Amino acid sequence: VRQTARGRRPGTPDTREEILAAARELFAASGFGATSMRSIAAQAGVDPSLVHHYFDSKADLFFAALQVRVDPRVALRPVVEAGPDGAGERLLRVLLAVWGDETSRTPLLGLVRGALEPDGATLVRDALFGLVLGPVGQGLGIDQPERRMTLVASQLAGIILLRYVVEAPPMVAMTDEQILASYAPTIQRYLTGPLPD
């Protein structure tokens, strides 16, 4: 029987799901940065140690709560490890692989739509910059990583929007190779090209 009382109690088979539900609620309300493991435990009515038992870090909990099956930190590791040369094309290849696969695209679409609600913007700002773009920029060791990754993000976001959300016919008609050939030079320039003052 599902336990509904909010007092502290030991873990049950439902505990993990309840922690995830509490996390989704708090992340959506307050964003990633302002939500603590402790506040999620309180919301779920469990001891904080139980949250740490199920999830190694707040980032792990975040991605699990979003039900995104691809952990961007894992997917992006090869992009970072091979260094800045050609990173634009490698980054695009990850995007095309993740968004081209229906099992990862569906939850991501929900995430993107939610992000565009007034309340969701905080969450995405935090998640996108704190957990995806920031680490990539720093991992690549490029100068002005935040500014460069913002430029990169703006182009990647536009591709995602037109190809997978709005499904603009000319964008859908382009092959992956045409996407790569069209956009990799742009992304690479944002990563390692000249920056205006």
Residue ranges that bind a second copy, judged by CB under 8 A: 112-113, 115-117, 121, 124-125, 128-129, 146-147, 150-151, 153-159, 161-163, 165-171, 174, 177-178, 181-183, 185-186, 189-190, 195-197
Q: Please say which residue, 50 or 156, places its beta carbon nearer to a second copy.
A: 156
Q: Quick one: tokens of 115?
A: 């992000």
The least CB distance from residue 37 to a second copy, in Å, is 24
CB 192, CB 144: distance < 8 Å = no
Please report, in angstroms and rounded to a whole number, the separation of the first and last CA atoms in the chain.
62
Number of alpha carbons in the 13 Å side-chain half-sphere of residue 68: 22
Could you tell me where the DSSP H helices lie in 116-168? 120-125, 134-140, 145-160
- For the bound state, the minimum distance from the C-beta of residue 183 to a second copy, rounded and expressed in Å, comes to 8
Shortest CA distance to 91 belongs to which of 146, 170, 155?
Answer: 155
Cβ of residue 33: shortest distance to a second copy, in angstroms?
12
Q: Which is nearer to a second copy, 37 or 115 (CB)?
A: 115
Nearest to residue 24, comparing CAs of 94, 120, 104?
120
Question: For a second copy, which is the closer residue by CB, 78 or 100?
Answer: 100
Q: Which residues contact 9 (CB under 8 A, 6 or more apart)?
A: 3, 45, 46
The SS3 call for residue 142 is coil
Residues 84/191, Cβ–Cβ less than 8 Å: yes
For residues 54 and 164, which CB has a smaller minimum distance to a second copy in the complex? Answer: 164
Minimum CB separation of residue 9 from a second copy in Å reads 38
For residue 99, the minimal CB distance to a second copy (Å) is 13
Report the residue number, 48 or 134, with the smaller CB distance to a second copy: 134
Please identify, using beta-carbon distances, which residue of 49 and 154 lies nearer to a second copy: 154
Q: Are the C-beta atoms of 176 and 99 separated by less than 8 Å?
A: no
In angstroms, what is the minimal distance from the CB of 54 to a second copy?
30
